[in-house]
Amino acid sequence: MVNPGKRMNILKTLLNLRHGPGAAILPPEISRLHMDFALRWNDGHMGPRKFWKTCLPRLKFWNPAVPMIINRSSNNAGPATLSIYFRQAAAAAPTPTGSAAAKVNHITPLAQQPHSSTINECPAPPPAEGERVVTIEMKHQHSDAILQEFLQKTGATVLRPSPDEENEMRQAEDLKERAAIDRSIMKKYIDDKRAEERLLARAREEAEAIRLANQ
Amino acid sequence: MASTSQFLASLARLSISSPASRPAASSVPRFLAPSATTQIRCASGGTAQMQARQREKDKLKRKRRQQRFKEYKYAVPSGKGEQFSLCDAMRYLRAAEVGRPPSSVTYEVALKVRTIKNGPVIRNRIRFPYPVKNDTRVGVICPEGSNAMHDARTAGAVAFGEQSLFELIKANANNLPFNRLICHTDSVQALNKAGLGRVLGPKGLMPSLKTNTITKNVKAMMNEMVGAETYREKIGVIRIPIGNIQFSPKQLSENVKTFIESIKGDIARMEDRVDKDIIEVVLCSTNGPGFTLNGGFLPTDEKVEPADLATAM
């Protein structure tokens, strides 16, 4: 735990967790998401990986009730798919908060539900009764393209930051820029100091050599 | 330099000793000064030994005055926006940890404590109402068909017995069904005779008195072993894993409460007059940022229910 001042600067970037690509509210009929791709990025698995790292946290933040499972395997030749599970309108009356999804999931104990895995433990489950699956092929695709297709297929509403938040984001950005400048100044200072020390050391060595030669 | 300082000191003393006339330091005629220094030297000076003794006394006095000891630095988070309710913090952390296997992700708590540097530290064991790791599988070595074996079976040991267990250990040494092994006192001789030290020793499973894994009361030992967690204060902070990422807010809040109660109990129980107090409670997760908790529970966003924060990860 670092000191609060430092930590608060880091927490400012919480805005990054709220706003940016992927900040969208999913319609209530979406019951869960499942991603299936490889651990390493070769063979076109970079897009899905980036989508997970950049967009999925924001999606999860705005839709905390929707389970988002990521099943990764060491098989790079395998497919990279994103499955979106739609609840059929008839099966469950869509509630505004999506707590129906939670209810459905609480029927089976948590330990037996599919969970994220790095060893291919939980491949995409077949759709349950009254569910419909839409898949997105993610292989060899850029994460932006994946996001666009995802938003289009789910019909999610994209969130925009409020003016206040935009302002704060700009401040955080400024802080980052200033940090970069400060860092370069500091680096120059340290480098100069080291160069000088090196010069001095060499001069001293030479003096020593001359002294030894004279003796 | 020393002489001038002494001279000034003597002047000061002179002025105190004669408050009636009170000459200003600068107004003292210069011809008076040498005589004044010599006077004082005679009055307070003395041999080097005496001066040394005086210095010693002063040091003691200063030491007695210094009752406050050095503390670890801390800063109190101020302002309302910097603290989070439990559900808010959980929402952020779950977002930060999305897609990670839940077995490798835990909620953690860091408790900042105001404490002196050279004082006693808080250290204890705690059993959470909802244990963080429930993968402790205990094997019990006990005489076949004894009471202890019955106890082990009812307490949920994965493997028990004597000769049968030894054979099992020898047969698949690399794939043992348990990760803790305890031994009943009646079976110690049989265990030593079986010569399993080579198999169990490197895995740290060999029961011994030193590791406190030989017992008369199998049941109590197993209870103690499952789900107990040790914590210890290090440079003013106590850190401990407090919950699985799949815990519901209610479970997590109960764990946090238990933990803080336990710490408060530890502080109260400390002997001497140590005053430690809790400054802040920070909730973080394995890969997530840290959130100072404000003691509240409900999320600030009405659209999110606590139940939503317990779905599969």
CA-to-CA dists, residue A190 to A197, A200, B10, angstroms: 11, 15, 51
- Rounded to 5 degrees, what are φ and ψ at A31? -95, -35
pLDDT at A98 over 60: no
Interchain CB distance below 8 Å, A102 and B308: yes
pLDDT along chain B (313 residues), means of 10: 47 46 49 49 69 90 73 70 85 91 89 86 83 73 73 71 75 73 76 74 72 72 72 89 88 92 88 79 89 86 82 80
Interface pTM, i.e. ipTM: 0.80
pLDDT for residue A205: 95
* pLDDT for the residue numbered A2: 54
Would you tell me how many other CB atoms lie within 10 Å of the CB of residue A168? 16
Beta strands in A2-55 (DSSP E): 24-25, 30-38
Q: Is the pLDDT of residue A211 over 90?
A: yes
The pLDDT, as a whole number, for residue B16 is 46
Contact (CB, 8 A) for B69 and B116: yes
Instruction: Tell me the pTM.
Output: 0.69
The alpha-carbon gap from B268 to the nearest alpha carbon of chain A, in Å, equals: 25
Single-letter code of the amino acid located at A15: L
In this complex, do A102 and B289 lie within 8 Å of one another by their Cβ atoms?
A: no
Residue A93's pLDDT band (cuts 50, 70, 90): very low
pLDDT digits (tens, 9 = 90+) for A110-122: 667 788 888 888 8
The pLDDT score that the predictor gives to residue B77 is: 66
Q: What is the pLDDT of residue B78?
A: 62
Q: Is the pLDDT of residue A159 over 80?
A: yes
Averaged pLDDT, A125-129: 82
Instruction: Give how far A194 is from chain B: nearest CA, Å.
Output: 32
Pick the range with the lowest mean pLDDT from A15-29, A40-54, A145-159, B77-91.
B77-91
Contact B313 A67 (CB under 8 A): yes
- Counting runs of H as helices and runs of E as strands, what totals does chain A give? 7, 6
- Which one has a higher pLDDT value, A53 or B195? A53
Question: Is pLDDT of A158 > 70?
Answer: yes
Average pLDDT over residues A155-169: 88
CB-defined contacts A:B, below 8 A: 105
| The pLDDT value given to residue B56 | 92
Which of A7, A67, A96 has the CB atom closest to B312's CB atom?
Answer: A67
- A162 vs B185, residue with greater confidence: A162
Neighbours of B112 (CB within 10 A): 23
Confidence at residue B15, expressed as pLDDT on a 0 to 100 scale: 44
Q: Tell me whether B124 touches chain A (CB under 8 Å).
A: no
Give B192 or A81, the one with higher predicted confidence.
A81
Say whether A132 sits in a helix, a strand or coil: strand
DSSP B309: G
Kindly state whether B274 is in contact with chain A, defined as any CB-CB distance less than 8 angstroms.
no
Cβ atoms within 10 A of the Cβ of B237, count? 17
Q: Do B313 and A115 touch (CB under 8 A)?
A: yes
Q: Higher-confidence residue: A131 or A199?
A: A199
- Chain B residues touching residue A7 (CB < 8 angstroms): 289-290
